């Protein structure tokens, strides 16, 4: 039950964050969007960290924490660039493979990949290619679907590694400490350099949404970590469902239309990712 509840919570948070990201990155750019999300996210996380105290086995999990942080920040940067030049209905399903990647890593660490898993991975690739190259009935301004799909694929790899490592250490460390590394990396590597060079952008219009996105990003990652500690496979399956949620909401809120072939590619992706997480 824990993995089901927190898996669904992850999906809702990631879907909301993706929708907001797709708007913010077009206004203030990917770098500023991620930098502010990490900054606000640190403000949310720090009190939680202090209340949790310093874990006794923190040093044993240091490498996993670093990988989790780098995976999270790298994925956010890449997906922000993808949202800037692609539709939510295409980018989100590709990024949703993060949960399946996490589950596959958990399943095949030290083992060979089962034939079914290999087949489903091929189906995922086919879905990505179809969604990327299919004719678009209502293209966005400056849309570059192939590049957007490529960036989203790279983002899913980063996110998958981050989710796997976060799930690995979440059983041994307080969730707040799992969330901390990405926010520290984001501030040191992005926010501070951008602020020094005068390129850390924000407006009255974007500030509230940046805070909301920061909250959904923290809650989504925390929710996955808690659910994965109980059962990583179930949590990954349900977390991946943020893709159809985001795609439907993008149509309702932004009127982003997809062609039949694009919908076919996205459908292959969603079904394959779900089956892959179950099979893993």
Tens of pLDDT along 121-161?
778 777 877 877 777 777 777 888 889 999 999 999 998 88
Q: State residue 165's pLDDT score.
A: 80
Q: Which two tokens stand for residue 106?
A: 């958990």
- Predicted confidence at residue 107, as pLDDT, reads 66
pTM: 0.86
Which sequence spans correspond to the domains of the chain? 2-279
Question: What is the Cα–Cα distance from 49 to 51, expressed in whole angstroms?
Answer: 5
Asked whether the beta carbons of 31 and 190 are under 8 A apart, the reply is yes
pLDDT tens-place string over residues 11-50: 899 999 999 999 999 999 999 999 999 999 999 999 999 9
Give the Cα separation of 49 and 183 in Å (integer).
12
Candidates 4, 49, 25; CA nearest to 218 is 49
User: What is the distance of C-alpha 223 from the center of its chain?
Assistant: 13
Q: From residue 113, how far is each of 120, 161, 162, 280 by CA, in Å?
A: 11, 17, 20, 9
pLDDT < 70 stretches in the chain: 99, 103, 106-114, 232-233, 276-280
Token pair listed for 188: 């040191």
Q: What pLDDT was estimated at residue 275?
A: 78
């Amino acid at each position: 039950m824990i993995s089901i509840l927190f898996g669904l919570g992850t999906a809702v948070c990631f879907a909301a964050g993706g929708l907001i990201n797709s708007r913010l990155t077009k206004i203030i750019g990917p770098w500023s969007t991620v930098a502010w999300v990490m900054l606000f996210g640190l403000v949310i996380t720090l009190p939680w960290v202090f209340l949790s105290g310093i874990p006794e086995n923190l040093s044993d999990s240091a490498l996993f924490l670093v990988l989790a942080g780098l995976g999270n920040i790298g994925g956010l940067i890449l997906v922000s660039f993808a949202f800037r030049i692609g539709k939510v209905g295409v980018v989100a399903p590709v990024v949703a493979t993060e949960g399946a990647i996490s589950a596959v890593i958990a399943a095949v660490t030290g083992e060979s990949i089962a034939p079914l898993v290999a087949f489903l991975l091929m189906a995922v690739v086919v879905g990505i290619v179809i969604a990327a190259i299919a004719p678009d009935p209502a293209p966005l301004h400056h849309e570059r679907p192939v590049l957007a799909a490529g960036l989203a694929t790279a983002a899913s790899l980063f996110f998958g590694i981050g989710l796997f490592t976060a799930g690995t250490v979440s059983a041994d460390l307080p969730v707040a400490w799992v969330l901390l590394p990405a926010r520290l990396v984001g501030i040191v590597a992005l926010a501070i350099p951008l602020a020094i060079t005068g390129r850390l952008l924000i407006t009255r219009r974007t500030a509230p949404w940046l805070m909301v996105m920061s909250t959904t990003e923290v809650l989504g990652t925390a929710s996955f970590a808690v659910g994965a500690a109980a059962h990583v496979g179930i949590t990954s399956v349900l977390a991946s469902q943020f893709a159809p949620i985001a795609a439907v909401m993008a149509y309702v809120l932004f009127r982003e239309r997809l062609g039949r072939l694009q919908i076919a590619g996205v459908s292959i992706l969603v079904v394959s990712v779900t089956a892959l997480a179950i099979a893993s």
